[in-house]
Amino acid sequence: MGGDPELEMPFEDNVEGLTSTEAAARLEKYGRNELPEKTTPGWKIFLKGLWGPMAFALWVAIVIEFALQNWPDAAILLGIQLGNATIGWYETTKAGDAVAALKGALKPIATVFRDGKWQEIDTALVVPGDKVKLAAGSAVAADSTINAEPGKDYVPQVDIDEAALTGESLPVTMTPGTHMAKMGSNVVRGEVSGTVQYTGAETVFGKTALLLQSVEADLGNIHYVLMKIMYGLTGVSLILCVIVFIYLLAHEGESFKMTIEFTVVLLVVSIPIAIEIVVTTTLALGSKELSNKKVIVTRLAAIEMMAGVNMLCSDKTGTLTQNKMQIQQNCPTFLEGEDLKSTLVYSALAAKWREPPRDALDTMVLGSADLELCDTYTQLDYKPFDPRIKRTEATLTGPDGARFKVTKGAPNIVLDLCVNKAEIEDRLNTIITELGTRGIRCLAVAKTFETDNDWKMIGVLTFLDPPRPDTKATIAEARKYGVGVKMITGDHLLIAKEMGRMLDLGDAIETAENLPQFPASGDPKDIPNTLAEEYGEFIASLDGFAQVHPEHKYLIVETLRQGGFVVAMTGDGVNDAPALKRADVGIAVEGSTDAARAAADMVLTEPGLSVIVDAMLIARGVFQRMQSFLTYRIAATLQLVFFFFIAVFALSPSDYNAMVAGHEDETRFFHFPVLMFMLITLLNDGTLMAIGYDNVRPRKLPQKWNLPVMFSVSAVLAGVACASSLLLLWMALDSVKDYSNSVFHAVGLPAQDYQHIVTMIYLKVSISDFLTLFSARTQSSPFFSYRPSLVLFVGAILSLTISTVVAAVWPDSSPDNIPCIGLSRLSDGQTESTAQRLMPLYIWLYCIFWWLVQDACKVGWCALMKKYDILSYTSNLEPSTPLKGISIGAGPSGKSRTFSEHNGETVPY
């Protein structure tokens, strides 16, 4: 493979490193090693809120009002537009600050050689000319060239994954003078030293950063859900408004000015302008809630995806286990005179014993070996751990000047090197099998004697990586909440089975032998979309996989995803990174490598898996808040637009002698002044900002969008609210036409006039809107199932109070030439009436009665859908074919469980 064309090297290979003084001077000269992050100024965020499909509709209404010289209404609409933009600016800025603060907690670390020793520093402090370590599992801190190793009998090389920069799926092998390792790429194999050539904005990544940064907030799957809802509601509203426009203009003979003003304003208030703002705010608040559980969210959309996770694939080492190996006293040796102490020394010699440990095995060995004795040896060469050959190797000279090699790694790999393999193979296999059945791992150590190929086994270190204290309970808890757990490890099959038994995970564990194979091209794009058909049931029925390579992890995740599962993958190493990236939600556990954290959507900053169950429940709560809000917003829109649509055709004031003298054109059909429309919109949207703080009860099962169900429930809520509003309008108009035979007369209420009817319906619609919110928030359960949060409750009470006061004391006036007066006021010629003064109270009682009916209808409709699986109410929860019916994996009993068998709950809504 060719090198980088025109490779520029401002700095020669730095083998000595820098001093702290030199580094400080260069930091001052070149600046911090940080990407040029594009930040959108607040004024641009504000202006952005004034543009877009929703804002455009409002601009049309504003222009029309100005053209018709309706200055007050135009000013009100303009105020609404600016108010929405202001709210959007505030919430977007606040959400961005919250996510930025959480990301700031993830500080990448670079290993540099300064002041004569290797040390770990903040990547931002790396400077040009620094000597850096490029080792498997770490991210490249800055554009760096590979250092040559004069006098060595090999050419240093390292494999770099540049997929994030170039889209090249295969790692690039880099050697001195041929390539530059670029910032943003990851080391996948090998270990070399390099010299930093460029930092920050001068790197290749820095120069293209503006192309890589997204201006839009990444809303992922929820973005498409919002688009469907917004375009669906706008489409319905537009059709109804056009019909009303034609009817009023052609049939009723209304003026063009009056007709266009009414229909445009009705269309504007029916459009869910603040829908994206509320959803983004809810997700950002969810990320803050997750941060309290030590989970850092690097992609907001991952919260919504986490709510739907029904399969958790977990790496074993460091995730299910403590990743803190404990050396056992039992150390089988194969050469006379060797014991545990000498075997530990040889294993330490196969590492960089005076540098920070590169992995858990080095940590264990270097923490137990006699490093002072190691210092009597000189290391001439070192080959770091390669996940493919599964061993490390070093070349040394001893105190006596003798040159030899030493290696440590997987017993079966090291055994294949040994010249006395035939003599020791049976004994070694017996030892491995016996220890494996007890969950004890082995690390073989060998050295050369006469020649470089004259390998002989020294001994076998035995150690135990015990499971984390909370792992067993976490797996049980995950299954309780409808999430299957599968262990995926490169470890030996016997060890994996023993761990499965210890954790009650199950022992249906297989090796990679029967798993799908990666395409020969090595390109993920060539992976067939038939994996689920060929391997789906086999993979879904197992509890785990052993002796797998990184590509197997990737293919396991891909197969499950093709089978309809929403997959979360946890891991900590560079070998987990591809699967983390491919999973719906990639989770890097505490202590993960830079590569794993870069590939993940969420990063745990606390040991153990228990926080993942917490994260799932929090995510489900966030999902429910979004679902409650969207259900309400759909219902509110449908209620409003259908009420006026039906009222225009069926409840004309002229048919009830309710038209007002001097205002015949304005009172020929029933409608509100623009100000009342806008008050309803403003107060509703303002209160909905608090939905992100609402109390929820996370569902026991993974959540999944079912828009037909959501629209049907919204239609039930809207239908009851709309019908009760139309009934009230009919009763009020009927009291004008024939009071003595009217319902109002029968219940002791005074006859109404058009002025009072306008404010009466305004109050009814306002109260119904807010009460609908409290019904929608509990979804399929009654409204009293659990209390709302204090923030939401206070916001709603404040808005209801404002609406009630406005409706009660509205002055006798004619905004938009529509006569209206407060319900507690007396119109001209009306006699003193206590009942009229108390009319707001009666409207409240009327609304509460119909709210109870509305909530009962909602609960009944949901129960009906659940019983007969209407609109795929329950079956929507199960994965799609071909894996339907295999959802949460097999437990210890080996029996697969489906959602319908799990806890008796199949509620998706």
pLDDT reading at 884 higher than 50: no
Dist. CA 167–CA 173, nearest whole Å: 16
pLDDT tens by residue, 350-392:
999 988 776 767 888 998 999 999 999 999 999 887 766 778 9
For every residue of 479-507, DSSP letters joined together read HHTT-EEEEE-SS-HHHHHHHHHHTTS-S
pLDDT reading at 403 higher than 50: yes
Band of residue 476 on the pLDDT scale cut at 50, 70, 90: very high
Query: What percentage of the chain reaches a pLDDT higher than 90?
Result: 45
Mean pLDDT within 769-786: 93
pLDDT of residue 881: 42
- Supply the residues annotated as catalytic: 315
Q: Under DSSP, is residue 844 helix (H, G, I), strand (E, B) or coil?
A: helix
pLDDT tens by residue, 579-590:
888 899 999 888
Residue 828 Cα distances to 51, 808, 815, 886, angstroms: 45, 16, 17, 72
pLDDT tens by residue, 513-548:
889 988 877 677 788 889 999 999 999 999 999 988
Mean pLDDT within 757-764: 96
pLDDT reading at 709 higher than 90: yes
Amino acid at 597: R
pLDDT of residue 710: 95
Q: Which of 695, 692, 697 is nearest to 788 (CA)?
A: 695
Chain CA centroid to CA 73, Å: 41
Dist. CA 534–CA 529, nearest whole Å: 10
Residue linked to tokens 């049939």: 251
Range with the largest mean pLDDT of 41-50, 485-494, 778-787: 778-787
The token pair that represents 806 in the structure block: 């406005």
pLDDT reading at 699 higher than 90: no
pLDDT of residue 878: 60
Mean pLDDT within 127-156: 88
What's the chain's average pLDDT? 84
Dist. CA 469–CA 684, nearest whole Å: 48
Element (H, E) at 640: helix 610-650
Band of residue 739 on the pLDDT scale cut at 50, 70, 90: very high
Q: Under DSSP, is residue 604 helix (H, G, I), strand (E, B) or coil?
A: strand
pLDDT reading at 272 higher than 80: no
Q: Under DSSP, is residue 188 helix (H, G, I), strand (E, B) or coil?
A: strand
Residue linked to tokens 């006596």: 400
pLDDT reading at 903 higher than 60: no
pLDDT reading at 42 higher than 90: no
Mean pLDDT within 483-495: 87
pLDDT reading at 888 higher than 60: no
pLDDT of residue 247: 92
Mean pLDDT within 153-158: 82
The token pair that represents 595 in the structure block: 């590569």
Dist. CA 626–CA 97, nearest whole Å: 21
Residue linked to tokens 């591809």: 578
Dist. CA 690–CA 416, nearest whole Å: 65
pLDDT reading at 899 higher than 60: no
Dist. CA 127–CA 129, nearest whole Å: 6
Dist. CA 819–CA 667, nearest whole Å: 8
Query: What percentage of the chain reaches a pLDDT higher than 70?
Result: 88
pLDDT of residue 895: 40
Dist. CA 65–CA 75, nearest whole Å: 9
Dist. CA 384–CA 360, nearest whole Å: 13
Band of residue 69 on the pLDDT scale cut at 50, 70, 90: confident
pLDDT reading at 908 higher than 50: no
pLDDT of residue 892: 47
Non-local CB neighbours of 569 within 8 Å, separated by 6+ positions = 312, 313, 314, 553, 557, 576, 579, 580, 582, 583, 585, 586, 587
pLDDT of residue 906: 36
Dist. CA 531–CA 104, nearest whole Å: 39
Mean pLDDT within 451-467: 87
pLDDT of residue 829: 76
Dist. CA 469–CA 464, nearest whole Å: 14
CA torsion sign for 757, 761, 762, 763 is positive
Dist. CA 288–CA 431, nearest whole Å: 50
Dist. CA 756–CA 749, nearest whole Å: 13
Mean pLDDT within 685-703: 85
pLDDT reading at 1 higher than 90: no
**24-33, 409-418, 475-484, 889-898, range with the lowest pLDDT:** 889-898
Higher pLDDT, 256 or 223: 256
Task: Tell me, yes or no, if the pTM score tops 0.85.
Answer: no
